[in-house]
Amino acid sequence: MRCQGVKKLTCECINNTSTTRKQTACCSGVNNRVVLSRMAFHNKEPAVGVDSFAKENISSPNMANVLLEFKASVGDLEPQSCPLLIIGQLGYLQQINWNQVKGKLLPVVTKETWQLALSSLNPNPTDSCPLYLNYASVAALPSRVSRHNSPSSAHFLTRLVRTCLPAGSNRCILMLCEQSDVFASACAIARAFPLFTRRSTSCTMEKKRVTVEFVIVGQENSHLDPSTIKSLNNVADGVRLAARIVDTPCNEMNTDHFLEEIKAVGNELGITPTIIRGKELKQRGFGGIYGVGKAAEHPPALAVLSHTPSGATQTIAWIGKGIVYDTGGLSIKSKSTMPGMKRDCGGAAAILGAFKAAVKQGFKDNLHAVFCLAENSVGPTATRPDDIHTLYSGKTVEINNTDAEGRLVLSDGVVYASKDLSADIILDMATLTGGQGISTGKYHAAIMTNSEQWETACVRAGRSSGDLTHPLVYCPELHFSEFTSAVADMKNSVADRENAQSSCAGLFIGSHLGFDWPGVWVHVDIASPVHTGERATGFGVALLLALFGQASEDPLLNMVSPLGITTVNASSGDQMERDSKRRRLV
């Protein structure tokens, strides 16, 4: 009965051919009923806040098994043949010329219906309204955001796409935004369409297609150029690749499988990975990676993909924690905290997705992706509390918690990047600590760095990419004493878990480089934002591409980079701050 009600009121507005006076009276009633019908149409509460992310049905069959493609224009299509979602800030929706959308709405949605729907929207912070049955909808993003949020409202955008995009095998999203928000908006849309599913019906389901078209407001409502379209498709592929790996359970994504993923990306890019595996890790001094993974059926590995173009002026290394499953080892997790630990490879997955997109778009500097792969398992050869391991740095570590394994594998990884790859800039990314969510929340990754300039850059890259970040305390002289050991150079877990726990975990990694290391070191803890509910987000791909966009040959990545050619001087940085303030909450 609810859908019939929506059909009736839509038809009333579409078929209204009365006099102007009667139209006004009729449309006033329709306007009220449109507002009331939104709950009926979606059969759920109107979009409210980010806290309702976990309540979404993000495993809907309509969102999986999707071929996602960005195009300059999808052309004119009727909603019945191509169900449509139009989305943007309310101000942008009101600015758009009817001539730009009518080809996708007529004849079932008239200009009058469109204007009535817009007048009924009241985003607080978001809102949506059906335009015609279950074939067309319009959704409004927040008009303002706080200074620690992305102007693109990326989290809200993902949510609205998941909840408001009509069903169908061939669907379209019309995205209205400013040029500066195109990158973050595309990544947010990509997050709404997970690739991994093992539902029995998925084998027989028809492959669905979703096409995304951008309308850039403020520039005569123009469309995107071909180079930007190519960039968005590559970036979206990277985000979805990372999410697929994180969503895949360990029986299908053990260290063998992850290495195959790395090789597949290498084959696509013409790069042969370097792989050090099993007992060779022990022989070559990688005591962290080997000690964590030696008890598992599938041996641990350190794998490296290297992009070394001619003319490079610096060397960048991305180090990813790839714990394909984390039981906690002999310090075993409980039955309530162990489920979901397939996600402990989120850092390595993000680096693989970002590396693939970065190289495809052209990367001017040397770029190495280092994957520290292991399964933290239990067995006769498992590392015990009280064991002492010598890491690749030569420093000895007394194990007092086998569930603090990520910092061990990453310490080997960052030292390899410094010693063997001669990296000038080292960034490690990991689902490292449960305390990250306490420190910076579910939506902001925690970042720590030895460089104030890069700390600021990370925060700005988070805002421009939608992969939000916030700094942790960097104060090794006060916090590193938490790892004091009587019998080794350090322990691997803190004495006091109430003393900047996430900061200390990062400092453990940095200590193996040395706190006086002259290069730039950045640590990114993505434990909470790597997933929303039971689905992976692909978090980290967009952040890396934006943060290092200054080294890309892609103008879009140059634009979103806080260290790019448009923001290298103070005045440009001030302009970026002013642009961000335009949409801030008072």
Tell me the β-bridge partners of 568: none
396-398 sheet: strands from edge to edge: 388-390, 396-398, 490-491
Phi, psi dihedral angles at 437 (to 5 degrees): -65, -30
Q: Apex CA 214: angle with CA 194 and CA 241, to 5°?
A: 25
Distance CA 457, CA 561 (A): 8
Distance CA 367, CA 315 (A): 6
Distance CA 152, CA 447 (A): 21
Distance CA 367, CA 372 (A): 16
Which of 333, 364, 395, 442 is an active site residue? 333
Tokens matching residue 256: 């063998």
Tokens matching residue 104: 């996708």
**Per-residue b/e over 357-372, b at no fewer than 16 CB within 10 Å?**
bbbbbebbbbbbbbbb
How is residue 301 annotated by DSSP? E
Q: Is 463 a catalytic residue?
A: no
Nearest Cα neighbor of 307 from 354, 243, 260, 350 is 354
Q: Is 208 a catalytic residue?
A: no
Query: The tokens 């990813």 sit on which residue?
Result: 320
How is residue 166 annotated by DSSP? P
Q: What is the DSSP string of 312-358?
A: ---EEEEEEEEEEEE--TTSPPPTTTSTTGGGGGHHHHHHHHHHHHH
Which of 33, 407, 460, 583 is an active site residue? 407
Residue 269's identity, in one-letter code, is L
Handedness of CA 102, 106, 108, 111 (dihedral sign): positive
* HSE, side-chain direction, 13 A CA sphere, residue 90: 18
Tokens matching residue 574: 């001030």
Phi, psi dihedral angles at 402 (to 5 degrees): -70, -10
Q: Is 273 exposed, middle or buried (0-12, 13-18, 19+ CB in 10 A)?
A: middle
Virtual torsion, Cα 357, 358, 359, 364, nearest 10 deg: 160
How is residue 528 annotated by DSSP? T
Handedness of CA 374, 376, 378, 383 (dihedral sign): positive
* HSE, side-chain direction, 13 A CA sphere, residue 218: 9
Handedness of CA 110, 111, 114, 119 (dihedral sign): negative
Report helix, strand or coil for 563: coil
CB 157 within 8 A of CB 165: no
Distance CA 508, CA 401 (A): 14
Q: Which residues have a catalytic role annotated?
A: 333, 407
